[in-house]
Structure 1
């Protein structure tokens, strides 16, 4: 197995697990949710991409692995089965490997965001944030 595949799946693993926890088997059909964190949404996009590129048997196998992982979120073996299905798909489709790699942030890139103090807000990106009492937002 390619070291590139192993590295990608290791990097994507937390995203995949978070997506399965947040979406369950609906990960293949649901749209991105603002109520779910960015990690889960990235994992959702990755799993949907893999699922869309698989044949009927591959889709069934991936769905079964996701179902098992969703039903047993603390089971490391179930999470590993999802990663194994992704690895299988990547071994069979070099273009898929490149597509998923583009979705991930560059290896080693970390973002640290810290908030300190009462009503502080910390975010890498943010739309609207309001702190304070009796605040009114105008559309």
Structure 2
């Protein structure tokens, strides 16, 4: 579930920066925010409300690092780890978070660029000029 929430968290941190936690506390003021960033903000709001002072400080530090270094996979992982820790400790939070996330099952593949390949499952794929594919040797 945390992995599924990852893109929403990233979008929220990208859209709001470190202010996402302030925005989460004032969720009623911007309940109209929809889309990926809005879902991420609501996830952070749920987690934030259930944390104590020390846990909030850790969450805030993870959000700040992710906002300051948006391309850093480790910073994003640290934020996901904070969410994961909260979920392990709170079964009700798991249920609420599951209600926010879209149903799993559908597949969306976005492909762009010259010779880009998009596939759910792929065997052999080749793009480029003068590509030759040789069958495996027995």
Do both share a fold (TM > 0.5)? Answer: yes
Query: Which of 56, 66, 69 is the matching residue for 1:69?
Result: 66
1:111 deviates by 6.9
Alignment partners' CA distance in 1, 2:61 and 2:39: 20
In structure 1, the partner of 2:114 is none
Deviations 1:80-131 (A, max 9, x none): 000000000000111101110011111123579xxxxxxxxxxxxxxxxxxx
In structure 1, the partner of 2:122 is none
1:37 deviates by 5.8
Query: Which of 28, 33, 36 is the matching residue for 2:21?
Result: 28
In structure 2, the partner of 1:91 is 88
Instruction: Point out where structure 2 has 5 or more consecutive residues left out of the alignment.
Output: 110-138
- Are 1:105 and 2:102 matched, yes or no? yes
- Are 1:79 and 2:76 matched, yes or no? yes
Aligned-CA RMSD value: 1.9
DSSP 3-state at the match of 2:42: helix
Instruction: Point out where structure 1 has 5 or more consecutive residues left out of the alignment.
Output: 1-7, 113-139
DSSP 3-state at the match of 1:29: helix
In structure 1, the partner of 2:117 is none
Larger radius of gyration: 2
1:48 deviates by 1.0
DSSP 3-state at the match of 1:109: coil
